[in-house]
Amino acid sequence: MTNEATKLQNLGKNIAKYRNINSYTQNQLAEKVDVGREHIAKIETAKKCVSLKLLFKIAEALNVNEKDLFNFENM
């Protein structure tokens, strides 16, 4: 697996982690950021890249700083 793929996986895991901390389902997060549930599922499993615009929306919806989504130290 490439370094890029690993980073995308870790980003997806962090999004899922913060989504769960907020007790949101994928559907609820998807509604908050105006995308479909499948789109969130694909981001969380690194099957789809996330745009910066959507990443900012996700961070806001999850009440975290964007940099927290990129904190891969404890993975």
Residue 71 lies in a domain: no
Longest dimension (CA), the chain: 32
Rounded-to-integer distance, Cα 7 and Cα 1, Å = 10
**How many folded domains does the chain comprise?**
1
Domain range spanning residue 58? Answer: 3-65
- Specify the amino acid at residue 55: L
Can you give the pLDDT at residue 1? Answer: 59
- How far apart CA 46 and CA 57 sit, in angstroms, is 18
Rounded to whole angstroms, the Cα distance separating 6 from 23 reads 25
Low-confidence stretches of the chain (pLDDT beneath 50): none
In single-letter form, the type of residue at position 57 comes to K
| pLDDT at 74 (0 to 100) | 76
CATH code of the domain in which 20 resides: 1.10.260.40
Task: Please report where in the chains the tokens 């499993």 appear, as a residue.
Answer: 45
